[in-house]
Amino acid sequence: MNQRTVTANLALTLDGRYHGPAGPNDFGAFAPYVSSEVARDQLTRIWESATTAVLGRNNAEGFLGYWSPVAEDPAADPRDRGYAKWLVETEKVVFSTTLTEAPWERTRLVNAPAAEVITELKSTGDGDILVNSSATLIKPLLAADLVDRLYLMVFPEIVGGGQRLFDDGLPATKWSLSHQETGELGEMALVYDRVR
Q: Are 190 and 152 in contact (CB under 8 A)?
A: yes
CATH no. of 6-194: 3.40.430.10
Q: How many helices (H) and strands (E) does the chain have?
A: 5, 8
CB atoms within 10 A of CB 151: 22
* Per-residue pLDDT tens over the stretch 101-125: 998 999 999 999 999 999 999 999 8
Q: Are 65 and 59 in contact (CB under 8 A)?
A: no
* Per-residue pLDDT tens over the stretch 157-190: 999 999 999 999 999 999 999 999 999 999 999 9
Distance CA 46, CA 67 (A): 15
* Per-residue pLDDT tens over the stretch 10-68: 999 999 999 999 998 899 999 999 999 999 999 999 999 999 999 999 999 999 999 99
